[in-house]
Amino acid sequence: MKTYLHLELTHRAPLPAIFQNDDVRYPESLLEHFLQEYTRPGDVVLDPFAGYGTTLFVAERMGRIPLGVELNKAKVDYVRSRLSRPEAILHGDSRSLKELDLPEIDFSMTSPPYMNKDDPENPFSDYQAEDYAYSSYLRDIRSIYEQLGTRMKPQARVVLEVANLKRGGQVTTLAWDIGRVISEVLHFQGEIVVCWDKYGYGYDHSYCLVFSVE
């Protein structure tokens, strides 16, 4: 597998008008690449931060069994309206993943909510200001992936699309930090650099961090 990709950050279907100022989706082409590489038809594919459902829609179209967890009810309702099996997305909190009734999972991919190191909002509760520290963010994402690891089949792969964040001359090394803390609970297999035509956060590339369970 190549360790870099060149992709366009475009989507095949626009979001409904109420969501258009918050289009944080990754493109279908990114999913297609990783589902081809790491899954087969009939595999269960989980996105623990399902957002607008890109992972679920592509998985369903490619004959995989989609499964998602999403905190925001409006997004859950939108995704449900477009899935042939609406129950494939759970309205829930991935910080309590162990308490959710999930089957054994063959593959997981997501882009988690991002955090700048000096921001007070908690990305895992829809960016509510609560004097939340970056160290707590890293602790929470480690815990989510520790729980997720217990639901994955042996040899399963887990992928996160993440970027470092450059703002006002400061860099939050989000991709490095997430890679480090998840490596404490899953096995890091390496990164794929994704070069985008346009991106954001002060960069035009991001990383797909690949982990395995055993």
Dihedral pair phi/psi, residue 15, rounded to 5°: -80, 155
CB of 45 to ligand SAM, least distance (A): 12
Pairing of strands 121-122, 105-110: unpaired
**In this complex, which beta carbon is closest to ligand SAM, that of residue 110 or of residue 206?**
110
151 belongs to the binding site for ligand SAM (CB under 6 A) = no
**In this complex, which beta carbon is closest to ligand SAM, that of residue 135 or of residue 214?**
135
Q: From CA 209, how far away is CA 121, in angstroms rounded? A: 24
Helix, coil or strand: residue 108: strand
Q: Find the binder of ligand SAM among 39, 55, 116, 172 (CB under 6 A).
A: 55
Q: From CA 8, how far away is CA 39, in angstroms rounded? A: 23
CB of 151 to ligand SAM, least distance (A): 15
Please choose, out of 23-31, 145-153, 165-173, 194-202, the segment that lies near ligand SAM by the rule CB under 6 A: 23-31
CB of 27 to ligand SAM, least distance (A): 8
52 belongs to the binding site for ligand SAM (CB under 6 A) = yes
110 belongs to the binding site for ligand SAM (CB under 6 A) = yes
108 belongs to the binding site for ligand SAM (CB under 6 A) = no
Query: Residue 209 forms beta bridges with which residues?
Result: 160, 191
75 belongs to the binding site for ligand SAM (CB under 6 A) = yes
Helix, coil or strand: residue 103: coil
132 belongs to the binding site for ligand SAM (CB under 6 A) = no
206 belongs to the binding site for ligand SAM (CB under 6 A) = no
Pairing of strands 105-110, 152-162: parallel
69 belongs to the binding site for ligand SAM (CB under 6 A) = yes
Evaluate whether 205 touches 15 at the Cβ level (below 8 Å). no
Query: Residue 45 forms beta bridges with which residues?
Result: 66, 107
What distance lies between CA 19 and its chain's CA centroid? Answer: 18
Q: From CA 167, how far away is CA 138, in angstroms rounded? A: 19
111 belongs to the binding site for ligand SAM (CB under 6 A) = yes
Question: Footprint of ligand SAM on this chain (CB under 6 A)?
Answer: 24-26, 47, 49, 51-55, 69-72, 75, 93-95, 110-111, 113, 123-124, 126
